[in-house]
């Protein structure tokens, strides 16, 4: 081997020359002692690489990977990483593994990623130890094992790897592979902070935010989040946004929340991208835009954020920002559920229950409700209670229904509280007790549940479990009605029409009947027709009366049939209950309505009475256009 002057080059001198080119390349790349130049760095790395210098080969690969001084080429980067790895360079092994894990320049393979991480880790590379720990934690390319994850995190942490120190804190925080200990988590986070690790700062901030292992303090949490954010930690940026959103440590400001979400989103944080999308969905801190929300959800979903996938499912289910498609909604819910998202599991259960985007199946609905409930989703607990109450997808069992309602109630779910009240009221799975029914209705109502407010109003109206009071009945009907409950709207209209707890007002009665009727309540439709027929609270109009009578007829098929059904106690129970909020459905039946069915006419009687009332009706434009009579 000879140099350019014709002198014989020894292996030692060649190695020294290659190393000199490599170090000079590092200086050009960083601008240390020379003018920064990626092109000059590449030139030096190439010369050293030609001499077999593995670190130069690896560095040249990174230049191709990032497009520094050469056209970006992930494929060329992988080829160079492999060459350096075969020469025993553990950093190149780690970089090659990263490419396999991310599918960059090579087909994604978690198994090959693990293979190269392990080779590098066995050579003492702390970065590879950390990455191997993450693979075990997430079950990528290996069988998921928190124990193995902790083993590799601890090895890397002992070598001073700051991220692994932070991960050890996370393991103790969540009890992954070790016994949960917030105090030990705090110890690890403090170790990481000494190493300047922003993730450890963020972890300690989380502890202060939630009061885990330290005294709770939003102020301390916010200060630490800001410190981590200053170091570029996007998770901390996202958390600052949440502090502004909820007013924790700072005054509530949706605008600043959206601003911080935006900062983190611009840096690729999937949680922040999703949160910003949520802000656009709800018009919090930004102008409402379903279209922008969908784009953000799609971006976060591509990164693998299950919350964004669930959000996309909601958009497709409701036609917000995209064309409504139950099939697409189901697909996104399924993808999110497969990633362990409990909200998506619940939504998937509802799709199966209602046959949205998939063949209707109570059995499959129960399966997904149970998965979500086992993970703590209280809405799914309520839905499971409903499933057992009605025997949908499972054998009917009031006792099992009570069990699920109780679990949900213990976690503060107001629908479960309401359902327990219902079971006490009708003695389903529990000893009948109006007093306990009213007690549970009140607990749920005080927490904002509109259906429980209606139930409590009902108890006051009839004096069941509490002292009878039309005034309090009307008050609770009113509160429930303002939350959109059509039954409460109808009952409030009834109170105004009949002077029950409020001053009689046909105008207000007609107003509430109208609002309830617009939501599909057939009895309100009938009562509104009566208002128009007799001119009570509205201008007398046979045409409008007939319109609402027919609507009520179409909704109910026959008042006579309903009247007969209402006298069957078990049927009456299910008629009223079939539309409860716990299952997300509304029936067309109401307690006040069923009890008064005996005094109501059938739709045919209504029409016959009206026809005989005035021959002028027969020539009205309504009948001509309605198809009841052919146009002349």
Average pLDDT for residues 410-416, to the nearest whole number? 95
Q: Where do the domains of the chain lie, and which CATH numbers do they carry?
A: 484-632 (1.25.40.10)
Residue-level pLDDT at 14: 66
Check residue 561 and give its pLDDT. Answer: 44
Got the DSSP string for 313-346?
A: HHHHHHTSSS---HHHHHHHHHHHHHTT-HHHHH
Is a pLDDT exceeding 90 seen at residue 302? Answer: yes
Given pLDDT bands bounded at 50, 70 and 90, which one contains residue 15?
confident
Pinpoint the alpha helices (H) of 10-125. Answer: 11-30, 38-50, 54-66, 74-86, 90-102, 110-122
Bridge partner list, 2: 8
pLDDT over 60 at 326, yes or no:
yes
- Sign of the CA dihedral running 395, 438, 435, 381: positive
pLDDT at 3 over 60: no
Q: What is the pLDDT of residue 583?
A: 35
Tokens matching residue 161: 């790897």
Tens-digit pLDDT profile for residues 584-615: 333 333 334 333 333 334 444 444 444 444 33
**Average pLDDT, whole number, for the chain?**
88
Is residue 328 scored above 80 in pLDDT? Answer: yes
| 441, pLDDT greater than 60 | yes
Residue 558 has pLDDT above 60, yes or no: no
- Res. 310: pLDDT tops 50: yes
Q: Find out whether 84 and 57 touch, Cβ atoms under 8 Å.
A: yes
pLDDT of residue 571: 39
* pTM metric for this prediction: 0.76
Rg of the chain, C-alpha, whole Å: 34
Please state the rounded mean pLDDT for residues 123-138.
96
| Confidence at 554, pLDDT banded by 50, 70, 90 | confident
226 has pLDDT over 50: yes
Report pLDDT digits (tens) over 101-118: 999 999 999 999 999 999
Give the whole-angstrom CA distance, residue 252 versus residue 245.
6
For residues 357-375, average pLDDT = 97
Asked if 562 and 568 touch (Cβ cutoff 8 Å), the reply is no
What pLDDT, on the 0 to 100 scale, is given for residue 183?
97
Does 560 score more than 50 pLDDT?
A: no
pLDDT at 216: 97
Instruction: Report the distance separating Cα 220 and Cα 68, nearest Å.
Output: 41
Per DSSP, the residues of 544-556 read HHHHHHHHHHHHH
Number of separate helices (H) and strands (E) present in the chain: 35, 0
Give the confidence band of 623 by pLDDT, cuts at 50, 70, 90: very low
For residue 9, what pLDDT is reported?
Answer: 54
If you search the block for the tokens 């213990």, which residue do you land on? Answer: 410
The Cα 80–Cα 338 span in angstroms is: 37
Q: How far is CA 98 from CA 21, 74, 95, 129, in A?
A: 27, 12, 5, 13
Token pair recorded at residue 443: 């607990």
pLDDT of residue 188: 98
Helix axes 326-338, 306-318, angle to 10 degrees: 160
pLDDT band at residue 82 under the 50/70/90 scheme: very high
């Amino acid at each position: 081997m000879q140099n350019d002057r014709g002198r014989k080059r020894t292996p030692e001198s060649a190695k020294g020359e290659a190393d000199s080119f490599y170090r000079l390349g590092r200086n050009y790349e960083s601008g240390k002692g020379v003018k920064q130049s990626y092109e000059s760095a590449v030139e030096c790395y190439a010369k050293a690489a030609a001499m077999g210098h593995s670190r130069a080969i690896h560095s040249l690969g990174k230049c191709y990977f990032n497009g520094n001084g050469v056209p970006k080429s992930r494929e060329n980067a992988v080829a160079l990483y492999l060459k350096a790895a075969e020469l025993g360079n553990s950093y190149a092994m780690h970089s090659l593994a990263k490419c396999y894990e991310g599918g960059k320049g090579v087909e994604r393979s978690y198994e090959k990623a693990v293979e190269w991480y392990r080779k590098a880790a066995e050579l003492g590379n702390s970065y590879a130890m950390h990455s191997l720990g993450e693979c075990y934690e997430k079950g990528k390319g290996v069988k998921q094992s928190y124990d193995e994850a902790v083993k590799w995190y601890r090895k890397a942490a002992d070598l001073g790897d700051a991220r692994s120190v932070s991960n050890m804190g996370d393991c103790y925080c969540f009890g992954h592979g070790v016994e949960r200990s917030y105090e030990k988590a705090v110890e690890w986070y403090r170790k990481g902070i000494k190493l300047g690790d922003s993730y450890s700062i963020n972890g300690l901030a989380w502890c202060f935010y939630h009061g885990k292992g330290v005294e709770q303090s939003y102020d301390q949490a916010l200060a630490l989040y800001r410190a981590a954010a200053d170091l570029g930690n996007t998770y901390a940026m996202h958390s600052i946004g949440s502090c502004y959103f909820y007013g924790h440590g700072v005054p509530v400001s949706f605008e600043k929340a959206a601003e911080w979400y935006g900062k983190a989103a611009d840096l690729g944080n999937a949680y922040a991208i999703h949160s910003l999308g949520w802000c656009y969905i709800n018009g919090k801190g930004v102008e409402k835009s379903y279209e922008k929300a969908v784009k953000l959800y799609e971006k976060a979903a591509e990164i693998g954020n299950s919350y964004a996938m669930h959000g996309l499912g909601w958009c497709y289910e409701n036609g917000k920002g995209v064309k409504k498609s139950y099939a697409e909604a189901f697909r996104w819910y399924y993808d999110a559920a497969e990633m362990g998202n409990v909200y998506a599991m619940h939504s998937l259960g509802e799709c199966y229950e209602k046959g949205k985007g998939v063949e209707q199946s109570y059995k499959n609905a129960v399966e997904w409700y149970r998965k979500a409930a086992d993970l703590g989703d209280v809405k799914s607990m309520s839905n499971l209670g409903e499933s057992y109450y009605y025997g949908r997808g499972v054998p009917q069992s009031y006792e099992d229904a009570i069990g699920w309602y109780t679990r949900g109630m213990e976690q503060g779910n107001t629908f479960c509280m309401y359902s327990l009240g219902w079971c006490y009221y009708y003695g389903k799975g529990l000893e009948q007790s109006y007093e306990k029914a009213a007690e549970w209705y009140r607990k749920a109502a005080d927490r904002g549940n509109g259906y429980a407010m209606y139930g409590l109003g009902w108890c006051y109206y009839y004096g069941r479990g509490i002292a009878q009071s039309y005034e309090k009945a009307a008050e609770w009907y009113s509160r429930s009605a303002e939350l959109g409950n059509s039954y409460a709207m109808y009952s409030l209209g009834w109170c105004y029409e009949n002077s029950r707890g409020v001053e009689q007002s046909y105008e207000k009665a007609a107003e509430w009947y109208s609002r309830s009727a617009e939501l599909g309540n057939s009895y309100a439709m009938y009562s509104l027709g009566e208002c128009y027929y007799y001119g009570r609270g509205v201008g007398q109009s046979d045409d409008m009366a007939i319109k609402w009578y027919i609507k009520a007829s179409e909704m109910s098929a026959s008042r006579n049939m309903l009247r007969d059904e209402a006298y069957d106690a078990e049927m009456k129970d299910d008629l009223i209950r079939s539309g409860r909020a716990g299952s997300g459905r509304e029936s067309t039946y109401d307690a006040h309505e069923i009890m008064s069915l005996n005094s109501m006419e059938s739709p045919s009687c209504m029409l016959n009475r009206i026809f005989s009332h005035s021959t002028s009706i027969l020539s009205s434009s309504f009948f001509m256009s309605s198809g009841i009579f052919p146009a002349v």
